[in-house]
Amino acid sequence: MIGNYLFGRKGISFMKKRCAWLLTLIFLVTLSVSGMAYATGEDEETRETEETVSSGETEDAETMERTEAAEPENDGEKQGQDPKEALQEILGNSSLGADEVIADGIYIGEVAVGGMRAEEALEAVLSHIEGLGEKTLTLMLDGAEGVEPIQVSVSELGLHTEGLADVVMEALSLGKDGNLIARYKAEKDLQVSNQVYEYKMSVDKNLVAQFVTEKTGALGVEPEDAQITRTGGKFSISESKTGVKVDIPATVSAIMAEMEDWKREDTSVTAVAEIIQPECTTEMLSQIQDNLGHFSASTNDRSSGKLQNLDRGVELTNGILIMPGESWSMHDALAPFSAANGYTQQIAYQSGGYVKEYGGGICQLATTLYNAALRAEVEISKRSNHSMVVYYTDFGLDATINDGGSKDLELTNSFDFPIYIEGYHDGDGNVTYTIWGKETRPSNREVSYYGVTLSKESVPEQIIEDPTKPVGYEHVEQSSSYPAVVAEAYKEIKIDGVTVEKIKLHTDKYIASPRKIIRGTAVPVDPNTGWPIDPATGLPINPATGQPEAPQPETPAQPETPAPQPETPAPQPETPAPQPETPAPQPEAQPAG
């Protein structure tokens, strides 16, 4: 009976129903366990594998066709495309209706978008991003004292999203795509935990570069050189400071890296910078302690104009610092030679004679400094001698400069320490230059300099006739006579007082220039006769005789028709008229002109 029931038609039908029910129950239990595992943090990759296997076992051809039809035909949001426009394009190619809403429990970033249509969700996320744009990025510079950090809003750096429209569509499609089991599983998962879709944000590299370029000037610190002054016979040296320069490309990269993993809060970035050392440090200037060489020269011309030029020249060449490897031009320091620069017109050499120029006599400074540099053994990279000799140093040991700069005194610091030029004028024509630095020469070593005259030829006084001036006029144009000289300059080195070396520095030639007197040669002329006047007698010289003589008065002209004669002759006196005892006086002679 029982066997008939079990193995009869009814029994078989009952067993089929029982089996189907059991299979359904087992499948539902499996789904439930899968959802619980996901909720408790089961490995994402394992969960996705189970979903794939489950859907792969049950998904039929019809379901696959429907899923493929739901996928958009385009490639999603294009780079740089407005997310609203991109979303409209994706929706237009999607099988989901415009009124479809996102399932509850779904977030895009920090924004809950459950129950929203795609457009509403996008607006909500964009509004949230706009608020994030108000967050600030602070750019700092480590080690820069007194420099305030720079702040900028993230929106000013071009904050934008990438692929946001695709993320919105992904959120909208959850629970609506796939087969029945996949949709059922998605719903169950959302009941257990929220689904969060993240999106990528970035900033515009060009705007970041612009910000760094324009604003980091306030972060940078310029190096500050030490300064040296000499007052009261002592040196005073200020403290040098290192500078900081922002490395713009590296700082841009640092900001981009920070925003790549931005936590969506106020953030800060330390600028990448390099330390810049000052050209002149306190330690370098502290080496200037020793008198390496000095020299003094005087002038006999103590006119106020000459002394003014010396004062001004010393003012412009005092306190000169020359760093190692640098060259310094005395001409450039003194120029321009003009009244505006404090000079007066004084006698200067030119073309073998005298002229008056602004700054005349200033070459005394060049000679003085040249001799000080020789004794300090500073490299003299440019030097010219005068055209004529000067008498305030040995022939061959002078130096000169000219207005155009073709003649110059240039010093080059070939030491590994700085040198300092100190100039002094006592106000009475006595000038001294001292060169300070670091003494490295042995104490038993002595150097001296002297000139040797090879030839000296004097010239006679020169008389210059001036036909525009009258005879007797005389003017001294050049009071001194300068000989033609050839001279050599020597450097002598002694060790413990014994000469060990003599070095010829150069050979100089000086042109001769005689004492010059201008005399007038113009002869005065008698205004009445046009005859030249004899300077001895003051009388005109008769061209016919070549002798000085007083000019005769002119004889009155006789009329062409004789005067009518009286008819009766005048009665004759009985006694002739008395004759004068002395002759009539002649006209006076004209004085010489």
DSSP string computed for 337-395: -STTTT--EEEEEETTEEEEEETTTTHHHHHHHHHHHHHHT-EEEE----SS--SSS-T
- How confident is residue 183, by pLDDT bands cut at 50, 70 and 90? confident
| Section 322-331 average pLDDT | 98
What's residue 147's pLDDT? 72
Mean pLDDT of 336-352: 92
**Separation of CA 32 from chain center:** 77
At 146, the pLDDT band (50, 70, 90 cuts) reads low
The pLDDT tens digits for 216-258 are 877 778 899 999 999 999 999 999 998 888 999 999 999 999 9
Q: Is the pLDDT of residue 558 over 80?
A: no
- Summarize pLDDT for 250-266 with one digit per residue, the tens: 999 999 999 988 999 99
Place of tokens 């005892």: 581
Cα Rg for the chain, rounded, in angstroms?
Answer: 57
pLDDT score recorded for residue 51? 44
The better pLDDT of the pair 91, 435 is held by 435
Higher local confidence (pLDDT), 14 or 335:
335
Residue 370 identity = Y
| Res 486: pLDDT | 98
Q: Which of 85-94, 192-201, 489-498, 555-564 has the highest mean pLDDT?
A: 489-498
Answer yes or no: are the C-beta atoms of 254 and 270 closer than 8 Å.
yes
pLDDT at 92: 86
Point out which residues pair with 210 in neighbouring strands.
none
11 pLDDT above the threshold of 60 = no
The b/e string for 505-538 (b: 16+ C-beta within 10 A; e otherwise) is beebebbbbbbbbbebeeebebeeeebebbeeeb
Q: Is the pLDDT of residue 303 over 80?
A: yes
Q: What is the pLDDT of residue 479?
A: 87
- Per domain, the residue ranges of the chain are 1-42, 205-283, 288-441
DSSP string of 24-74? HHHHHHHHHHHHHHHHTT--HHHHHHHHHHHHHHH--HHHHHHHHHHS-SS
Q: Residue 117 above 70 pLDDT? A: yes
Q: What is the pLDDT of residue 179?
A: 73
**258 vs 351: which has the higher pLDDT:** 258
Digit-coded pLDDT (tens) for 427-469 = 999 999 999 999 999 999 999 999 999 999 999 999 999 988 8
Cα 258-263-269 angle, rounded to 5 deg? 30
pLDDT score for 65:
44
Band of residue 523 on the pLDDT scale cut at 50, 70, 90: confident
Q: Residue 1 pLDDT > 50, yes or no? A: no
**pLDDT value at position 327?**
98
Q: Which pLDDT value is given to residue 580?
A: 45
For the chain, first and last CA: distance in Å? 184
Closest CA to 396 of 388, 385, 412: 385
Q: In the predicted model, what is the mean pLDDT of the chain?
A: 82
